[in-house]
Structure 1
């Protein structure tokens, strides 16, 4: 069935969000049909997966493409579900219906087979978790390609004027650049000071405990700087990034997709004449949900087609396909598509080791800091751990520390941190809290070590051709996942040794926070006086949703799967984003690194256009980007589109339209630009020294009266001069209506006429240089350097310079018949 054009009703809701943000695959494919629409273009950037990193990449590609050269298609298997992170919404809104596990597992331990799977919906898992996004420290990037680590840690963006690293740029986007700027108050200050004092006195040894940027608390930096390193790097933006902008709050990818999709729709509506089908042709980004990617087809190393459950999408010769389906599914597609000549795809599977310990401290043990304070508020703190193994290699972990006063029966310290809606009644109740206990949760996150060299590593992803459930949907094999902490191939036992070190550090931090006072631990039987054993604190490996590494980046195709930009070595147009490309996983949540690397890949695939500097004395009125395109305004019929760095009129039924440079009028000048016809019969023009179409026009015969206009593009026709573009000189074949002439001014030796010479015919599809020089009342036109006409104006009512009439002197482009392109419009004022 064709996709409904109107929002549809369910038993409970009207699907405005889905219809306004998403498209059906039938709509997307129809928008590429050149039979129905001569100016239709294919999707040359196809992102497979609209989850955490597919959303980041697609939106970044969209905003990077300031010349509107590309079309982006995002294919997402699930439906539009939520417009916002669940923790920005009332509690318990966590729809189980979106979750699925499209792979099998042959891990020996049954608990490591319980993968939570994927969230099948735009935004993916970024809608449900996230928050703690610390930076890598130097040793966590050991073994990464130098080009990548340089871009992540030193100024690299924007490319034309680097001011910050990719990690810094990503931190700004997700809200971690200000750490936990919304967490403050006496409880936070008291616990942070205890943690600082305890870490300064920590004996060290095999495990160093440091701040979130890797700085020891015993360092010589100022105390305030060190204290800030203990604040939690939470992906929560609570303060406006600049005046007039609302904060993002809890970061997620769906907001980026919604914004990009709606801007793409707005652009299309302003750039086209026609209905929904014509608007779709002009949409630069389409999000197609409820569409499962089944397989990819290739010729040699080039991906030529994406096959889905609803149809196929052809990839043009210069197109790119990006795997953004999550580590396991992206790896499955890579294994099913490419030769895997070196057998590397699927190795190096890593996740995170996770432990949780909840303690409680008597409020009274915090001393005078909380005396007289009824509302305990919250605290969020962070400690990094660097453990030296027996072979002198290093492993990394971090501790996420949350604290709040939640009452004698409470055990969830995060309840006050993330899960409160600021309604007045709730706020009033907070003012009356008299909690006796402070609940503190210490969550440890440790890195696993991946195996890149074994032909059959303990942790890996392969294709399950003979799984217990048979072929996966649509006849394709499932991925087969094995993930274990204990690796017999590792004689040092790094994973378990790091897990032990992390748990030991957790218990030490608990005692530091207690500051010698009483501390109780939450166990299976309630509160107890001893720390819980490993079995009671350690989560299953798959529970962090952080699996990665199986398509790791590197410079050598024989030792890595993707290159330094995330392109798979065995393909010229298949890329990957997300944790799958990480050479090592470190301890941080992969959101920050995944966002940084996705943006970096986007910058490589679609660099932001940098127009060349104009000639000496000239400046751009239009440089091919949407920034300068936004300085022009349209009136009359038709529309004007920015396509591939050019302004292209979209005529409407023969009625005139005008796009004029609205920022200022001009007097004497040299105007240079390039123009291109699509067909010999195309008709358009360039207006100079016309009146501002927004303002009333005095009547020629009686200046006290105003000339009425229904179509304001005729203001330019009547009050300025048009440099004609029409090789057919319609309708009568007269030279005064021909390309390069001043329109409708008689040619030859006649009073008030123009001296016109026919130029060479315009070649459809080829760019022609045009120069218009206006000095005093003399107009000179040149095409490709050859003079076509000289005209001296004697009409004092039209063609006035701005110096004589501030309402005159405007420059504009005409929409008439055909789609004539204009680009590189620059001016030199004389």
Structure 2
């Protein structure tokens, strides 16, 4: 035992403990004040929970929205930034399930970071309270939902997830990200080849088995390209950590991604159908952050906790219904080497397969893990067995000349979506609701009722029988060649596969969220994770939920650009796809806002030229004498900022109406005033500085018309310069700060 460290009122760059320097914590995490009181623009997204799906979704919003600010709030402390199986074997283990019916039953924190925030008659391992969450411990199995599973999902989502050829779809994209694709770069070799051949032959004798597949494991054993390291076992923390370190290269006021640990979100405040504030306990202290309606909130703290937060904040009758988990069994056998392949090499080797099965009562699959050890190190075995919780039983079962095979069966449960179904503890259907037990902050905990029905139990029996029948068939049905070590069922709460309680659908009357994961009745609140599943299937939920988290991130980024019907965003909200000419430039502030500095110079959109169009631009000048403009229809300027001035058209931003062509310069010139087509068509508008305004610029043939905040302010007829060209923004002089956002365009015939 060592002494507890107490914070002193002394500022340091890195905190030291008795044994270490907290480099990881300091480099990855930020304090509440660093993230929320830095003078930057409002956040565009707040992600609650940095587990498998929250961390992934946050990273994707950051990457796909190059000018969006993202805040990640996680209730735990930083532990590690890799899957624990990618590290030395230092004793980081998942917690065993415990039954916590009332607060007095709660054993508190287990295995350093594991806790059980909800209450139930069913035993659960709980949650890993740390960024990365349970993705730091998971087994890595990542099968797809089958076509039959997806037939019960909304068609647009099913089509995006899985194409008819099972390639080039959303599943494949995530499989490549997580290391599932290529399936044989991690599991291969003589044992794998022999076992697959044997299982495919044996499957014909088991009526409910549909097919044998390579094991879909999220482990990238081979480097993705020459000169790169392999990514090993996937978790969400490496990608989030990389994004955070990239974002940290900017000052905090301009930084686009923060993780605040020890930040427990207790409630979301709403008004007018939108989240307006987030109540948070940071290190136990009550904090609150107000958010505009344009900022989205993503509930990603796991199925049960996300449902609790939704029920506490903006409940509906359907929330918490449709709870599903998986029925799981473990069948462990020893099969003599001779029936697999007498020529198998006597060295440490592992193999894995996926067996798909179906019955009228539902679908199941078997995760087959095999290991042959005639003498090898336990450390090597630890790294080769895909599931941590199978390690000890596999090692204990090893015997020379025998191959240990574990058939982990996973079968689906069907949820009940009826808002009127009776809620009876200990009986089907399953559901989540708020309990009478409160947490340390006085908030109601979730109560989880998870129970099987007759069909569930029947499917479970069929799956267990299929596992034994298949194992016997692999052993040629020779009792002398197979020894059943054991067959046992796991508790309903042990799988970490809770799902369905905030399911998606097109109709608000029979679903909780829409097809992008947004609550039907809350305009800026989304969900990331298996809570969105309409049905569960037998597949482990990780691959599907990760693909849905990407879909949600893409929707958030798309909506942030704010293009009206008929219009398309000009760019991606930042300066990607744009080039500068001259001096000064533009800086990204977040919120898809860019701001001019220095000058004189030009920022121009390089991806295409435009001829006839309507361009809408929101802009804000910080002071009356700020100067900028929007250039249209100019040729490629290269590095010469004067080309748009001479050969294109500038819609001016300058409330002083400064005419630089007189000596001395004069002011109040309508041809040089805000709204004017610079030097060609006059305007006398004087929009208020410090407020947002909208230009609508129509260029149609030889006529250019300008509207400011819905009112026409100028028109140029018989325009005789270039009839088409690029679009650009001007930065005029040092001290002038003009902001732009929501550039959108509609092309005309």
**TM range, normalised to the smaller chain?**
0.7 to 0.9
For 2:669 and 2:481, how far apart are their aligned partners in 1?
A: 91
Is this contact kept in 2: 1:360–1:519, CA < 8 A? no
Structure 1 residue 125 displacement after superposition: 0.6
Q: Does 1:314 align with 2:290?
A: yes
Distance 1:177 1:757, change over 3 A: closer
For 2:357 and 2:485, how far apart are their aligned partners in 1?
A: 19
The aligned residue for residue 137 of structure 2 is: 128
Is this contact kept in 2: 1:726–1:739, CA < 8 A? no
SS at match of 1:473: coil
Structure 1 residue 682 displacement after superposition: 0.3
The aligned residue for residue 433 of structure 2 is: 462
For 2:727 and 2:275, how far apart are their aligned partners in 1?
A: 48
For 1:627 and 1:182, how far apart are their aligned partners in 2?
A: 39
SS at match of 1:279: coil
The aligned residue for residue 116 of structure 1 is: 125
Q: Does 1:144 align with 2:153?
A: yes
Alignment of 1:329-344 (within 5 A): 329-340=305-316, 342=317, 344=318
Distance 1:363 1:408, change over 3 A: farther
SS at match of 1:475: coil
Is this contact kept in 2: 1:726–1:737, CA < 8 A? no
1:379 to 332, 335, 351: 351
User: What's the TM-score once normalised by structure 1's chain length?
Assistant: 0.69
Is this contact kept in 1: 2:41–2:591, CA < 8 A? no
SS at match of 2:693: coil
The aligned residue for residue 278 of structure 1 is: 253
SS at match of 1:403: strand
Q: Which structure 1 segments of 5+ residues have no match?
A: 32-36, 158-162, 212-228, 270-275, 389-393, 421-432, 522-528, 694-714, 743-753, 773-780, 793-808
SS at match of 1:296: strand
The aligned residue for residue 526 of structure 2 is: 575
User: What's the TM-score once normalised by structure 2's chain length?
Assistant: 0.76
Distance 1:436 1:416, change over 3 A: farther
For 2:533 and 2:728, how far apart are their aligned partners in 1?
A: 52
The aligned residue for residue 396 of structure 1 is: 363
Distance 1:516 1:689, change over 3 A: closer
Q: Does 1:85 align with 2:83?
A: yes
Distance 1:814 1:99, change over 3 A: same
2:183 to 170, 179, 184: 179
For 1:121 and 1:635, how far apart are their aligned partners in 2?
A: 47
The aligned residue for residue 763 of structure 1 is: 687
Structure 1 residue 364 displacement after superposition: 4.0
Q: Does 1:359 align with 2:338?
A: no
The aligned residue for residue 62 of structure 1 is: 62
Is this contact kept in 1: 2:324–2:499, CA < 8 A? yes
Is this contact kept in 2: 1:692–1:810, CA < 8 A? no
Distance 1:512 1:455, change over 3 A: same
Listed one character per residue, the Cα deviations across residues 19-38 of structure 1 (whole Å, up to 9, x for unaligned) are 3332222223214xxxxx4x
For 2:224 and 2:289, how far apart are their aligned partners in 1?
A: 39
Q: Does 1:510 align with 2:471?
A: yes
Listed one character per residue, the Cα deviations across residues 667-694 of structure 1 (whole Å, up to 9, x for unaligned) are xx9999888451321035799999987x
For 2:91 and 2:531, how far apart are their aligned partners in 1?
A: 29
The aligned residue for residue 449 of structure 1 is: 414
The aligned residue for residue 98 of structure 1 is: 113
SS at match of 1:54: helix
2:626 to 651, 676, 682: 682
Structure 1 residue 635 displacement after superposition: 8.0
For 2:289 and 2:581, how far apart are their aligned partners in 1?
A: 35
Listed one character per residue, the Cα deviations across residues 211-235 of structure 1 (whole Å, up to 9, x for unaligned) are 3xxxxxxxxxxxxxxxxx5210111
SS at match of 2:558: coil
For 1:317 and 1:101, how far apart are their aligned partners in 2?
A: 33
Count of residue correspondences: 669
For 1:243 and 1:444, how far apart are their aligned partners in 2?
A: 38
Is this contact kept in 1: 2:186–2:221, CA < 8 A? yes
Query: Is the deviation greater in 451-460 or in 124-133?
Result: 451-460
Structure 1 residue 555 displacement after superposition: 4.1
Structure 1 residue 815 displacement after superposition: 5.4
For 1:365 and 1:549, how far apart are their aligned partners in 2?
A: 43
Listed one character per residue, the Cα deviations across residues 537-592 of structure 1 (whole Å, up to 9, x for unaligned) are 22222111111222223344444333333333443433322122222221111101
Structure 1 residue 313 displacement after superposition: 1.7
The aligned residue for residue 440 of structure 2 is: 473
Structure 1 residue 91 displacement after superposition: 2.5
For 2:42 and 2:252, how far apart are their aligned partners in 1?
A: 15
Structure 1 residue 415 displacement after superposition: 2.9
Cα RMSD, aligned residues only? 4.7
Q: Which structure 2 segments of 5+ residues have no match?
A: 1-6, 94-110, 388-397, 708-713
Q: Does 1:252 align with 2:235?
A: yes
Is this contact kept in 2: 1:725–1:739, CA < 8 A? no
Structure 1 residue 124 displacement after superposition: 0.9
Structure 1 residue 771 displacement after superposition: 11
Structure 1 residue 123 displacement after superposition: 1.3
Structure 1 residue 716 displacement after superposition: 6.6
Is this contact kept in 2: 1:403–1:413, CA < 8 A? no
Structure 1 residue 740 displacement after superposition: 6.7
The aligned residue for residue 814 of structure 1 is: 731
Query: Is the deviation greater in 563-572 or in 92-101?
Result: 563-572
The aligned residue for residue 323 of structure 1 is: 299
1:605 to 529, 532, 556: 556
For 2:655 and 2:164, how far apart are their aligned partners in 1?
A: 52
Listed one character per residue, the Cα deviations across residues 192-225 of structure 1 (whole Å, up to 9, x for unaligned) are 111111123x151xxx2123xxxxxxxxxxxxxx
1:498 to 456, 459, 481: 459
Structure 1 residue 818 displacement after superposition: 2.4
Distance 1:434 1:350, change over 3 A: closer
Listed one character per residue, the Cα deviations across residues 285-325 of structure 1 (whole Å, up to 9, x for unaligned) are 32222100112222364332211113112232333322211
For 2:498 and 2:156, how far apart are their aligned partners in 1?
A: 24
Structure 1 residue 249 displacement after superposition: 2.8
Structure 1 residue 191 displacement after superposition: 0.8
Is this contact kept in 1: 2:254–2:588, CA < 8 A? no
Distance 1:234 1:481, change over 3 A: same
Listed one character per residue, the Cα deviations across residues 121-158 of structure 1 (whole Å, up to 9, x for unaligned) are 1111111103111111233345433443333334899x
Is this contact kept in 2: 1:152–1:165, CA < 8 A? yes
Is this contact kept in 2: 1:303–1:571, CA < 8 A? yes
Listed one character per residue, the Cα deviations across residues 635-670 of structure 1 (whole Å, up to 9, x for unaligned) are 866753275556421x3xxx6575666989x9xx99
For 2:727 and 2:672, how far apart are their aligned partners in 1?
A: 19
The aligned residue for residue 749 of structure 1 is: none
Is this contact kept in 1: 2:333–2:484, CA < 8 A? no
For 1:305 and 1:640, how far apart are their aligned partners in 2?
A: 28
Structure 1 residue 336 displacement after superposition: 1.9
For 2:235 and 2:462, how far apart are their aligned partners in 1?
A: 32
Query: Is the deviation greater in 73-82 or in 146-155?
Result: 146-155
For 2:583 and 2:313, how far apart are their aligned partners in 1?
A: 51
Distance 1:259 1:173, change over 3 A: same
The aligned residue for residue 734 of structure 1 is: 665
Query: Is the deviation greater in 760-769 or in 321-330?
Result: 760-769
For 1:146 and 1:690, how far apart are their aligned partners in 2?
A: 44
Distance 1:85 1:601, change over 3 A: same
